[in-house]
Chain A
Amino acid sequence: MSIRARYRLDRGGFVLDVDLQMAGQGVTAVFGPSGSGKTTLLRLIAGLDRAPGYLEVNGEIWQDDTARLFLPTHKRALGYVFQEASLFAHLSARRNLEYGMKRVPSDERRVPMNRVLDLLGIGHLLDRMPESLSGGERQRVAIGRALLTSPRVLLMDEPLSALDLARKQEILPYLERLHDELEIPILYVSHAADEVARLADHIVALDGGRAVAEGPLADTLARLDLPIRLGDDVGVVLDARVGERDATWHLARVSFAGGTLWVRDTGLPAGHRVRIRILARDVSVALEHHVRTSILNLLPGTVEAIADESHPAVALVRVNVGGQPIVARVTRRSAAALGLTPGMPVWLQIKAVALIG
């Protein structure tokens, strides 16, 4: 189960040159700055644009120039969610949802309507016209419409970028449910690191039309040599599980492969699986175990690597905590003063941990 996409496109000044092997399940984030070719890649996969290359989606070949094969978009079993909600203005939400479904032979429909309505919380919107829906509602209907074609792959082109923060927060949980409950691989184009951290299992980082990094999310984010500038968004994402909850201080303990962390109690029950994100700027490094400190989360680890950051004053330090890499951002001066070198035991002081999903 995988998606193989190989393209070479030269469009006067912009060159896209990729050869990607992407996971055939879960969410793969296609990540990179604007102009890096993310949307172009997605449009090529959808057949909306054309460039010489090869495309295979979970065993089905959609484009192979050596065999002169190019399936037109409407013959590709894909779902596409565009940046702006693109509902048909002349059709009600219900008829929008049915538009693609009706065009798929009934024996190939694997995603039932009521499941989609339930998953996206749009059952009460069916008789409304698109113009009377909010931006978030429209985008949910558009996602549902794509899902109802029972696609082999769901392509999402920055589906949240046209929405304000509140609408984003409204939709993100629905996207997480898609991820958890449907077995449809999703290619998710985004330039927002927080969305990627929250939703993705795999990541393909594009820059200037080339894939500069690809792999599982946690491993890729922990790479210090990631050639895209994340700035304040550098950090790691860890899978964890909620443990005990401390009612007095409103804290919850979450455990991950390398240890445990105290986080703000968000009401999740014990045993619940969560994803946590630790930004490098929230992690500092100490040589000793400070007891008298306001910082709750102190973890022992071993320095694995030190790398330059984009700003010359700053360095990134990757520390192995019980097999799990965590990245800290320190000044080069501090790194030198502490004499940090690979193999050295250190204590990480983690100031903030974000529970995401």
Chain B
Amino acid sequence: MTPEDLLAVWLTLKLAGTTTLILLIVATPLAWWLARTRSLWKGPVAALVNLPLVLPPTVLGFYLLLVMGPHGPVGRFTETLGLGRLPFTFWGLVVGSVLFSLPFAVLPIQNAFAAMGERPMEVAATLRAGFRDRFFSVAVPLAKPGFLSAIVLAFAHTVGEFGVVLMLGGNIPGETQVVSVAIYNHVEAMDYGAAHLLAGGMVAFSFLVLLSLNLLARRRPA
């Protein structure tokens, strides 16, 4: 593997790790709200969260490019903060990945919270636990299988993304060139050997992810 390919692998893992971490923080309250609310907003919010499931990644990437670009509202905001522009940077990719993988993190956690029912939290309240206390001591541990699925899926889905990266990040080695883009480059350059190495690695990785998910699902929820 060339140093450039290794850099792409490292960047991919860094992107997926960062994205997963941020997703856990964002998706947990969102999943709780979606699992519990009776608000009329539930439908629209759920649809919005799940939009990346059906949209072509290029569409998401395109709009993000516009919004975060020099004339977009987010772009102007980041510029006034002195952060510069997000497109064609690592953090731009993180933003795109978080949105793109959001449903993969929200859905399993939401299902786990819903399956738990109201009772455990009510019981904890009668045992003097305030909301934050009972959320972390009861709801989160009981939803553990959902969290594990969310972590695996969000990480894997980010590793596998291509369209959003290409639209939003381009192809800058060490900054935005992830494995899927590197494979594309090798194929374009007719270097099938190098493409095989990375592509085969992705196949093995994906297989392991699905296998672990399967084992996870078979284990009885703790």
Contact = CB atoms under 8 A, between A and B. Distances in A.
Interface residues of B, number: 20
A104 B129 CA distance: 10
B222 interface: yes
A48 interface: yes
Contacts of A48: 122, 125-126
B126 A146 contact: yes
B124 interface: yes
A72 interface: yes
B119 A82 contact: yes
B221 to A, nearest CB: 8
B123 A80 contact: yes
Contacts of A72: 125, 130
A90 B222 contact: yes
B123 A86 contact: yes
Most chain A beta-carbon contacts within 10 A, residue among B127, B133, B221, B222:
B127
B142 A80 contact: no
A149 B128 contact: yes
A48 B141 CA distance: 22
A88 B142 contact: yes
A74 to B, nearest CB: 5
* Chain B interface, DSSP helix/strand/loop, else mixed: helix
B193 interface: no
Contact of B124 (A75, A78, A89, A99): A99
Interface string A282-293: 000000000000
Interface in A198-257: none
A89 B142 CA distance: 7
Contact of A78 (B126, B130, B138): B126
B29 interface: no
A211 to B, nearest CB: 24
Contacts of A78: 126
Given A86-B120, A88-B120, A103-B133, A74 B125 contact: yes
Nearest to B128: A103
Given A88-B138, A90-B141, A103-B133, A82 B123 contact: yes
B128 A104 contact: yes
B131 to A, nearest CB: 8
A53 interface: no
A132 to B, nearest CB: 12
A100 B119 CA distance: 15
Most chain A beta-carbon contacts within 10 A, residue among B125, B129, B137:
B125
Contacts of B138: 88
A185 interface: no
Interface in A71-105: 72-75, 78-80, 82, 86, 88-90, 99-100, 103-104
A74 B128 contact: yes
Given A48-B122, A88-B120, A145 B142 contact: no
A237 B53 CA distance: 66
A82 B120 CA distance: 11
Contacts of A46: 126
Given A48-B122, A86-B119, A90-B141, A149 B127 contact: yes
Contacts of B125: 47-48, 72-74
Contacts of B137: 99
Interface in B126-150: 126-130, 133-134, 137-138, 141-142, 144
Interface of B: 119-120, 122-130, 133-134, 137-138, 141-142, 144, 221-222
Given A72-B130, A80-B123, 17 more contacts: A47-B125, A48-B125, A73-B122, A73-B126, A74-B129, A74-B130, A74-B134, A82-B122, A86-B123, A88-B124, A88-B138, A89-B221, A89-B222, A99-B129, A100-B129, A103-B129, A149-B128
Identify the 10 closest CB pairs spanning chains A and B, nearest first. A100-B127, A80-B126, A103-B128, A73-B125, A90-B141, A86-B123, A74-B125, A74-B128, A74-B130, A99-B127
12 contacts: A72-B125, A74-B125, A74-B127, A75-B128, A80-B123, A88-B142, A89-B142, A90-B141, A99-B129, A100-B126, A103-B129, A145-B127
